[in-house]
Structures are given as C-alpha cells and as structure tokens.
C-alpha cells in the first residue's frame, strides 16, 4: 500500500489547469478569474440619494425637530435624470427618488416619512432636522478609479459578478471549469429501471458521480453505460477525451481484477494502479489519455466500484484535482475541516490504514465545540449511512476512537 499523501501528490501533479479564456460575465459564475481587475470608473458616478424624500439645504432644517419648517418645492428629480435646471436655494426643496442625482445647492435628503406635503403640492413641511450628507451617497463612495476590484485567483460569486458589472466589465478572463465525463462499464449493470435479472445490480455510481461533479461547480457529461466489450469501451473512452477535460470511471480497479476497462486503459492510456492506505476507497487508478485532436493529456480517474468507496475517492482525489484544474488556490482544494469531539466511540481497528468514517457533525453552542457521531453502518456498500452523513471523520491508524476524543472532520455540507 502507498500513503494517501503520495497518491494525492501523484494525482495533483497531473491535473494541469487550462488556458484562460474570455467569456461574458454572465457565464463566469464559479470560475476563477485569471487577471486582477482595477476600476476605471467611479462608483457611484455621482452623488445620489439613498431614500425617497426631499433634497434640501441642511441649514434650512435647523430646529425642525421642535418646530416643523415649511419649504418651497422647486422641482422633482427622478432616477435617470441629470438633475434640476436651477439650484436648490435658501428655503427650497426638491422632490427626489431613490438613486436620483442630488440637485445642485442641496446637501442633504429628508426621508419622505419625515415630511408632509401641502394640499396644493407647492410646499412641504419638514418635521426632522438633518445633518449635511443625510441619506446622500457621495460619488466614489464605493469604488474609485484605480481601486483593485478583484484579485487574480478569486472564485467568482454572484456578488463578484455584480461588482464587475458595476465597473462596466462585460467580459472577463477566467480559467474554464472542467468538463467531466462519467462512464460506467459492465454487463451486470442496469440503469433503465427495469427488473433485475440474475447477478444484475443497479448502476447508481454514474448518477452519484455526475451529481458530485455538478455540485462541485463543474460541468458533468454523461458518457453512458458501456457493456463489457473492449472495442465499445475503447471507443467510448476515446470519444470522451475529445469532448471532456477529465474522465471518471468506476469499478475494475482492485488488485486481481481482470476487467475490460483495465485492459483498455492500460492500452490507450498511461495509468498507475494504486492500493492506498485508506478505508474505504483503497483501490485507485489514475493516469492520462492523450487527446488526438490537440495532444492534451486528459486526466482519467478510475474509482472503486463500491458506491461509498467511489464517493470517498471522489472527495479525496477527483474533487481536489478538478479544483486545481480550475485554477483554485492550492490551499482551498479540499473540503473545509474542523476539529470535533466524538459523542460516541468511533469503531476501527489497527490495519495500517487511515479510516474515513461517515459521521453527523453539529456545532454545540453551549460548549462552543463541534461534535460528531456515527451516521450508521460503515461498510463500503452502505449508502444509507453515506446519505445520512454530512462529514467524514479522519481516523488515524490505531484502535477505536473513544467518546470525548478530538478528531479531524472533513465537512461535506454546510
């Protein structure tokens, strides 16, 4: 067996990021920005009001808390207008709508709730004294020209895209998200919901892995279920590398297996077949197939066939490898981890492996600690306990982890 760190190092060294591409900003969500962005504009570009109300001279509202002040209305300013033709003078006020530019002469805004409009609409009674700048958003209050808006390497969220739009960016240079092809092989697999025949099982791994790919922010491409035929498997894999930036297969990677997928991968790819000192997900095949159209070495993840093993293997190898291909910083390739206290014994035995136990993790506000308990049976075929888990407890080689012991936990969900 080889250590987990060695296997991960081998995988990550071969998961190379793509060249940056320029895309419309509405296609850049969850991508990593490839260049730092500095604003060439001022945001907001002009002083404007944060409230519906009346633009006034603050000095004209002195004492209005005790004795309301009547001001003459000289106009209305709506969002999108350039302002008023005449300034707001002594004793004047201008009706103003949220986002509209502050008219010349005014230096404050009284919110409409603190005013009372005269019946004829010619004057307004102000019932609140306001300071200079009240409810006014100055020009450049958010961003000034030359400000660093986004640093290269940032994973773009909805808020980031909003900032880019605010400073006038219509397109942006990003590292494209990998397109990940998922393929199943085997005569024993059924994926159409039909009754199972003797020796047949449902193909759940392909759906599960496509879902993991999508939930991790990548594009999942279903390469289908291929029967045990060398020519068909080879054709599917070669077609997949032309369409995809990485491939994921399941099954046929254990020691002693003689499987068509192994035969074909050895023939058309440069593969390493590993037995890793972890449980579950001990077997892993990883390597590359060279794409004929451009000579790119496309990573291929050969995951175990047991459903829990395939999911754990995805978390430890596929997800970090794909995130590295996406340009994500090396410090953020893995799920977040915390230290937690075991609420009950976490069973294991000495076997030379690190165990990844399915657990339920919660934060105890009374003790200000994370706490975990087993989510159920820990066999590599027990999917119910995987579905009930929101974390994986990392159990170093040794005896059972006793209640009250601190363990490191990988958080699979918020």
CATH class given for the domain over 48-137: mainly beta
Q: Report the topology of domain 21-43+142-175.
A: Molybdopterin biosynthesis moea protein, domain 2 (3.90.105)
Domain ranges of the chain: 4-18+176-332, 21-43+142-175, 48-137, 337-411
Please name the residues in contact with 127: beta carbons below 8 A apart, sequence gap of 6 or more.
64, 65, 68, 114, 115, 116
How far is Cα 314 from Cα 172, in angstroms, rounded to an integer? 30
What is the residue-wise DSSP string for 153-169? TPBP-HHHHHHHHHTT-
pTM for this predicted structure:
0.84
Q: With contact defined as beta carbons under 8 Å apart, do 251 and 307 qualify?
A: no
Instruction: Compute φ and ψ for 209, nearest 5 degrees.
Output: -70, -40
Contact 209, 250 (CB under 8 A): yes
Measured in residues, the chain has a length of: 414
3-state class (DSSP) for residue 308: helix
Q: Which CATH class is domain 4-18+176-332?
A: alpha beta
Please tell me the distance from the alpha carbon of residue 394 to that of residue 132, in angstroms, as a whole number.
Answer: 59
Conformational region of residue 82, where left means phi above 0, alpha means psi within -120 to 50, and beta covers everything else: alpha
Q: Using one digit for the tens of pLDDT, what is the confidence trace for 37-54?
A: 999 999 999 999 999 999
Q: Which residues pair with 150 in a beta bridge?
A: 37
Cα distance between residue 78 and residue 100, in whole Å: 5
Adjacent-strand bridge partners of 354: 278
Same fold, 21-43+142-175 and 48-137: no
Nearest of 241, 217, 167, 195 to residue 319 by alpha carbon = 217
Helix, strand, coil % in the chain, rounded to nearest 5 = 20, 35, 45
H helix or E strand, kind and range, residue 299:
strand 297-303
* Residue 254 pLDDT > 80: no
User: Which residue pairs, CB below 8 angstroms and at least 24 apart, start in 283-291?
Assistant: 283/253, 283/254, 283/255, 283/309, 284/7, 284/253, 284/313, 284/317, 285/253, 286/7, 286/10, 286/11, 286/14, 286/317, 287/14, 288/14, 289/237, 289/238, 289/241, 289/247, 289/265, 290/241, 291/241, 291/242
* CA distances for 229 relative to 198, 234, 404, angstroms: 20, 9, 52
For residue 84, name the pLDDT band (cuts at 50, 70, 90). confident
The answer on pLDDT for 252 being more than 80 is no
pLDDT, tens digit (0-9, with 9 covering 90-100), for 267-310: 999 999 999 999 999 999 999 999 999 999 999 999 998 999 99
Please state whether beta strands 53-56 and 179-185 pair in parallel, antiparallel, or not at all (unpaired): unpaired
What's the average model confidence in pLDDT over 164-190?
92
Report strand pairing: 32-33 vs 171-175: antiparallel
Q: What is the mean pLDDT of residues 91-102?
A: 96
Asked if 381 contacts 304 with a C-beta cutoff of 8 angstroms, the reply is no
| Percent of the chain predicted with pLDDT > 70 | 99
3-class secondary structure per residue, 218-273? CEEEEEEEECCCHHHHHHHHHHHHHHCCEEEEECCCCCCCCCHHHHHHHHHCEEEE
Please, what sign has the CA dihedral across residues 51, 52, 53, 55? Answer: positive
Q: 170 and 28 in contact (C-beta within 8 Å)? A: no
Give the three-state DSSP class for 276.
strand
What percent of the chain clears pLDDT 90, i.e. is strictly above it?
85
pLDDT of residue 256: 58
DSSP 113-136: GGEEE-TTSSEEEE-S---TTTTE
User: In the predicted model, what is the mean pLDDT of the chain?
Assistant: 94
- Predicted confidence at residue 390, as pLDDT, reads 97
φ and ψ at residue 312, rounded to 5 degrees: -65, -40
pLDDT interval class at 257 (50, 70, 90): low
pLDDT at site 137: 97
Residues 319-373 have pLDDT tens digits of 999 999 999 999 999 999 999 999 999 999 999 999 999 999 999 999 999 999 9
pLDDT tens digits along 360-399: 999 999 999 999 999 999 998 899 999 999 999 999 999 9
CA distances from 308 to 158, 194, 304 (A): 33, 23, 9
Distance between CA atoms of residues 54 and 264, nearest Å: 76
Name the CATH code of domain 337-411 (choices 3.20.20.210, 2.40.340.10, 2.60.40.1930, 1.20.1300.10). Answer: 2.40.340.10
pLDDT of residue 227: 86
């Amino acid at each position: 067996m080889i250590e987990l760190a060695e296997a991960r190092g081998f995988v990550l060294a071969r998961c190379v990021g793509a060249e940056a591409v320029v895309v419309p900003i509405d296609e850049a969500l969850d991508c990593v920005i490839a260049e730092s962005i500095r604003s060439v504009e001022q945001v907001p570009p002009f002083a404007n009001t944060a409230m519906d109300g009346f633009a006034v001279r603050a000095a004209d509202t002195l004492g209005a808390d005790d004795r309301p002040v009547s001001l003459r209305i000289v106009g209305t300013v709506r969002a999108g207008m350039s302002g008023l033709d005449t300034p707001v003078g002594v004793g004047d006020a201008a009706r103003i709508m949220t986002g509209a530019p502050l008219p010349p002469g005014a230096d404050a805004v009284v919110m409409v709730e603190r005013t009372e409009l005269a019946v004829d609409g010619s004057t307004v009674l102000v019932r609140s004294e306001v300071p200079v700048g009240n409810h006014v958003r100055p020009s450049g209050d958010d961003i000034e020209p030359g400000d660093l808006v986004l640093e290269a390497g940032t994973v773009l969220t909805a808020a980031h895209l909003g900032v880019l739009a605010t400073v006038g960016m219509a397109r942006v240079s990003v590292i494209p998200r990998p397109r990940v092809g998922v393929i199943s092989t085997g005569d024993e697999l059924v994926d159409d919901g039909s009754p199972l025949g003797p020796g047949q099982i449902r193909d759940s791994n392909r759906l599960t892995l496509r879902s993991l790919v999508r939930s991790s922010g990548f594009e999942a491409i279903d390469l289908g279920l291929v029967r045990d035929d060398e020519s068909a498997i080879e054709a599917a894999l070669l077609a997949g590398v032309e369409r995809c930036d990485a491939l994921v297969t399941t099954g046929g990677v254990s020691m002693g297996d003689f499987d068509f997928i192994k035969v074909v991968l050895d023939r058309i790819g440069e593969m390493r077949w590993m037995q890793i000192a972890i449980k579950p997900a001990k077997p892993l095949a990883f390597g590359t197939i060279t794409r004929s159209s451009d000579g790119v070495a496309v990573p291929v993840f050969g995951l175990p066939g047991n459903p829990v093993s395939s999911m754990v293997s995805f978390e430890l190898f596929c997800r970090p490898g794909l995130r590295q291909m996406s340009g994500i910083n090396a410090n953020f390739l893995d799920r977040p981890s915390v230290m937690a206290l075991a609420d009950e014994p976490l069973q294991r035995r000495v076997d030379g492996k690190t165990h990844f136990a399915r657990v339920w993790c919660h934060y105890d506000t009374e003790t200000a600690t994370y706490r975990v308990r087993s989510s159920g049976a820990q066999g590599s075929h027990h999917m119910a306990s995987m579905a009930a888990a929101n974390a994986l407890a990392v159990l170093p080689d040794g005896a059972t982890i006793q209640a009250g012991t601190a363990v490191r936990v990988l958080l699979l969900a918020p």
